[in-house]
Amino acid sequence: MFRQIRLTLVTGAVVLVPVILTWYVLLSMFRFLDGLTARLVEASLGRPVPGLGLIVTIGIVLVVGGLARSLLGRQLINLGQKILSGTPIVRGVYNTIRQIVDAFALTDQTAFQRVALIEYPRRGIYSIAFVTAPSPELVADIAGVELVSVFLPTTPNPTSGFLLMLPQAEVHLLDISVEEGLKLVISGGVIGPGLRTATEVSQSCGVSPRRRR
């Protein structure tokens, strides 16, 4: 009886925890975005209006995006970026964040081209990596072989990691999408192609979600 109660509690937690965390993350995002211009809204109307700050924030983002697509707007934004990039202390933080955003959101090209399997950190141990581009010719000339640039992400935060340049023969491409590869990395190998979630396992097998086939 106690085993069944424990399994029921674990199954319920597996179902509820993702819902609760999703609600918490969305609520935190709402509060953050709404709070960016909440004081401006309160100063204008004389009282706080929950949600209006979020609308104002989205409007500001749309205006900046529209300006960024115009010639004059691009010149002004480039000037502002040069000022930030040239300011001590600020430039280190700004340039790092900007590079991450450019790589994952603002570039016209796909940051990650394919998902690959490489032997890292030593022979016999395999890691998930993402092919980014062929390595620069200068690097290939020094190495004497054609190299491929791959990004080896950390788990569970794929925005940090290592840039590795490997011979093409050592980069084994996987027949899965980049999105599936990211899910595999972020979940620590729990969620990915061909793998069932803990909820599916517990419901189908009646065992603890920690056990997988």
**pLDDT tens digits, 51-92:** 888 888 888 888 888 888 888 888 888 888 888 888 888 888
> What pLDDT score does 166 carry?
92
Q: What percent of the chain has pLDDT over 90?
A: 13
Domains of the chain, first to last: 7-106 (no CATH), 114-199 (2.30.30)
> What pLDDT score does 110 carry?
58
**Comparison of pLDDT for 137 and 211, the residue scoring more:** 137
> What pLDDT score does 212 carry?
40
> What pLDDT score does 211 carry?
41
**pLDDT tens digits, 172-195:** 999 998 888 888 888 888 777 765
Q: pLDDT confidence of 165, banded at 50, 70, 90?
A: very high
Query: What average pLDDT score do residues 114-131 get?
Result: 92
Q: What percent of the chain has pLDDT over 70?
A: 84
The whole-chain average pLDDT of the chain stands at 80
200 to 32, 55, 184, 206, 208: CA distances (angstroms): 34, 39, 17, 10, 11
3-state secondary structure the chain: CHHHHHHHHHHHHHHHHHHHHHHHHHHHHHHHHHHHCHHHHHHHHCCCCCCHHHHHHHHHHHHHHHHHCCHHHHHHHHHHHHHHHCCCCHHHHHHHHHHHHHHHHHCCCCCCCEEEEEECCCCCCEEEEEEEEECCHHHHHHHCCCEEEEEEECCCCCCCEEEEEEEHHHCEECCCCHHHHHHHHHCCCCCCCCCCCHHHHHHHHCCCCCCCC
CB atoms within 10 A of CB 103: 15
**Comparison of pLDDT for 51 and 159, the residue scoring more:** 51
